[in-house]
Amino acid sequence: MPPRTKTTARTPSRSSTPLAEPLDAAAETDGQLDGSDEAGRPAGGAARGGRRRSGATGGGGAGGAGTRLVIVESPAKAKTIAGYLGPGWQVESSIGHIRDLPRSAADVPAAYKGKPWARLGVDVDNGFEPLYVVTPEKRPQVTRLKELVKDASELYLATDEDREGEAIAWHLLQTLKPRVPVKRMVFHEITPQAIRRAVDSPRDINENLVNAQETRRILDRLYGYEVSPVLWKKVMPKLSAGRVQSVATRILVERERARMRFRAAEYWNIDGRFAATVGHDGSAPDPTPLPASLVALDGRRLATGRDFDSSGQLTSTDVVRLDEPAARALAERLAGATFAVRSVETKPYRRSPYPPFMTSTLQQEAGRKLRFSSQRTMQIAQKLYENGYITYMRTDSTNLSETALAAAREQARQLYGPQYVPDQPRVYTKRVKNAQEAHEAIRPAGDVFRTPGEVRAELDTDSFRLYELIWQRTIASQMADARGTSATVRLGATSSAGEDAEFSATGKVITFPGFLRAYVEGADDPDAELEDRERRLPDVREGDRLDVRELRPLGHSTSPPPRYTEASLVKTLEELGIGRPSTYASIIATIQDRGYVWKKGTSLVPSFVAFAVVGLLEDHFARLVDYRFTASMENDLDDIAAGTAASTDWLTRFYFGDGGRGNGNGNGASGDGSAAGLKQLVSERLGEIDAREVNSIPLGEGPDGVPIVVRVGRYGPYVQHGERRASVPDELPPDELTIPKALELLSAPSGDRVLGTDPATGATITAKAGRYGPYVTMDTDPPRTASLLSSMSLETVTLDDALRLLTLPRVLGAAEDGEEVTVQNGRYGPYVRKGTQSRSLESEEQLFTITLDEALALLAQPKTRGRRTAAETPPLRELGPDPATGRPVVVKDGRFGPYVTDGETNASLRKGDEVATITIERAAELLADRRARGPATSRRGARSTARAAAGTSRTTTAKAGATRTAAKTTSTTRSKTTTARAGRSAAGSSAVAETGNGAGQAS
């Protein structure tokens, strides 16, 4: 297909109507957005190549004698660059994206509210023209930037040199409408030299990158807004689907399914410890012990874990499987045998260094070595980049510039000696599948690298640790190979029963450490032996007799496939070519925020809600979660970024299909060659989906032959066996919900106790255990309920207690102004209330004893803030100093549950975190994530802003494209399903399913 014309003006195929832009920021339409783009920046849109290019390199107005204005994304970046440029320059931040597609119906300008495509924010019937709005919180900054542009002599757009950065620059250009010369300023590191080079070598906006970003944004909007309502109707309200998010969730669910199917198998072998009895070359026998394991019996290989399938059955008949009695008996028969060395095989060992970090490998290694989450790693790396310590941290390249090669080699030579540096620089040109823009690898900034010791005093603990990791990896990448020898020793004996038993030992000796002096890579499996670890063997030779020090039978059990960690999930996504390395951190954060995944230690555990969602998508929208199809979309987006494919044609095929004319690229084609587009696929399949079937996960059959299933209900998952039901505990991983465990849950007493009848009405009163605690209920219509007091329990509560509780809330009387005064037992304790005023009571007993006068006196007192009480409450646990701040971290019990705090920042414990087992490392991660999110926004203030914004209709960037048939329009029935109770993490995230390719993404 022909690409769009690369021009700064509209293409002839597009309408020539100019963009509808307000004269000032105050005239922009509200567009509150809470998502993030594919790089983790505040969400925003961009424009596709070949359209809306008016003034792509600035207007022709005279530049005046004002200062030169530079606009970057973040305030921290602006501050660093301002220090390098000096007088005559002003550096300001856009604070991320300033525009995006409307987030909700309230964000759509009045002029477009009646349009059938308004809910999407994309006119699918007119070339997929996007509707952009300026977010309310960015309006003051946009106003400031417009004022600064008026007084500037030149405008430099210095956003990051990737698709998102290019899109931010384009949106700034379209919104600010500068009448001064505009230059695109790019750099990979923030150092005085790099900034000067960027000023001296500006370029134009890369339309292909902008084009690709907008296409991705529109694609994710269409995917999220079309597929997510299906989940709302068939699974649970407020769920979301996304192009990469759903595939990542599927990967985790498939692994958990494998763990659920897995059946362990037991096998035994014998570990021996031997000692040399013969010295060589005039020396005494080598005292180094020789550990070896039984590997063969009578010439047949001994079975190991890899010889069993997931059902616990052997996959080969050519191996010997020992059980415990056989292994112990064999060890006894070998106790008096004579062991000798049968062979010694040595060969040279050589290991080359690892390439410098790119985004994905940095996330993996920081997860393995520093225990950082992917999101935390990117937050720290962003800060290091903005403050001039490292190069750009969103990159798919392992390449180093000539200056970086020289700096790394010189530093290695100075620190370790010339013998540790090869004659020629090492060049790493391998890039990952679907690599995006060709940046440099992540490395220390500057033409001369600063050592970790030189920056230690300037960085907090976590920033220093990550900088040190990047520095070590960069230096090691230019060092010499590690060299040594590896050896395999075979030894054996004949048992008293005539059996031939052969043992094997392997070892490695490093004779020249090379790059290992600077860096050793970690392993995903903490129990695995690192490839570069040295293991010495004694000096033994063929024919040498050995003393037996120990023969120990050892039992082994096959293990299920390990759950993914953040590091291993990132590695898998990269290998499959799904998503972008720069998006992985936000993808993982999104699936946790949506309740699809929770953490157990470092493992990612999918919830049963995730099982239901993935099952629905696999059964009815298999193509949308197909790994190859998702990866192929990345290839198509790369073609658009390269200017070799047209975005509108590609989106048309993806959304509407191509009637069989497609070639499989983005056309929605399934494996059978059909070419149905996304719109048709969703509309046709919705009626076929059986919600009960989708939300049922079979576990197997009970002893009576009746199936046992897990169902995802409105209030969470529960297990069902016939007519019996029981809730599934939140902290129970799916693979641990076995048939015996399910029967145990079903057999547990419900806790319901009939207490008696109400003397006044004759209604039955029952004490029950509820999801939010024990309570009593009266079977009236509607039923009356009351929570038990903290001093009561289900086992001891009486009918009198229940009758007393059911008098609540109690009306005390009316105040002088006529307002009613009541006393109530709330979620956070007892309190009195008058209108909107409330005050907490000191004890639950006051619920029944406080008088109207006492309540009015209490209401007249100033309201006590909760912080005072929290400060007086002793901590549940003391964890130690925070590695980032040095302040002591404790666990406390708050009104919303347990949380960790360092005295300044509070962070709630998440699902999977336990007060008794949480570590200081996990607490530091929670606190760091909370700090990175910034202060919480007042809901009351947000509602006020929304109401004020709704009062004014403002037109923003709308597109009036060529008219297309109205038959292509779509309509959506709003979900009127009641939302699940607050507290269910899987249902309580966001009513909007689509986001950008990042945090909260529909990617």
Q: What is the pLDDT of residue 921?
A: 80
**DSSP string spanning 483-508?**
EEEEEEEEEEEE-TTS-EEEEEEEEE
Instruction: Give the 3-state secondary structure of residue 232.
Output: helix
Q: Catalytic one among 132, 392, 596, 899?
A: 392
Query: Minimal CA–CA distance to 394: which of 707, 666, 159?
Result: 159
Which tokens sit at 551?
A: 């023969």
Query: Residue 760: its pLDDT value, please?
Result: 86
Note the pLDDT of residue 198.
92
Say whether 392 is catalytic. Answer: yes
pTM score over 0.85: no
The CA distances from residue 823 to 344, 671, 774, 866, in Å, are 86, 64, 20, 19
Q: What is the dihedral of CA 133, 137, 142, 145, to 10 degrees?
A: -150
| DSSP3 helix / strand / coil % (the chain, rounded to 5) | 35, 20, 45
CB of 765 closer than 8 Å to CB of 776: yes
Q: φ, ψ for residue 310 (rounded to 5)?
A: -70, -20
Q: In this structure, what is the dihedral angle of CA atoms 370, 375, 376, 377, given to the nearest 10 degrees?
A: 50
Rounded to an integer, what distance in angstroms lies between the CA atom of residue 15 and that of residue 581?
Answer: 36
Question: 3-state class of 801 per DSSP?
Answer: helix
Residue 716: predicted pLDDT:
83
Backbone phi, psi, residue 431, to 5°: -120, 155
Kindly report the backbone phi and psi dihedral angles of residue 612, in degrees, each rounded to the nearest multiple of 5, phi listed first: -65, -45
The amino acid occupying position 196 is R
Phi (first) and psi of residue 203, to 5 degrees: -140, 180
- Averages of pLDDT over runs of 10 residues in the chain (1003 residues) are 33 30 31 33 36 40 68 89 90 90 85 88 92 86 92 93 90 93 92 91 91 91 92 89 93 95 94 92 88 95 93 91 95 94 94 92 92 91 92 89 92 94 88 54 92 93 95 95 94 95 93 89 53 79 93 94 93 89 87 91 93 94 90 87 87 79 39 64 86 91 92 87 87 92 83 84 85 82 86 86 91 90 84 88 88 90 58 74 84 81 87 80 83 58 44 38 35 35 33 34 33
Determine the Cα–Cα distance for residues 765 and 753; give it in Å rounded to an integer.
Answer: 9
Return the CA Rg of the chain: 33
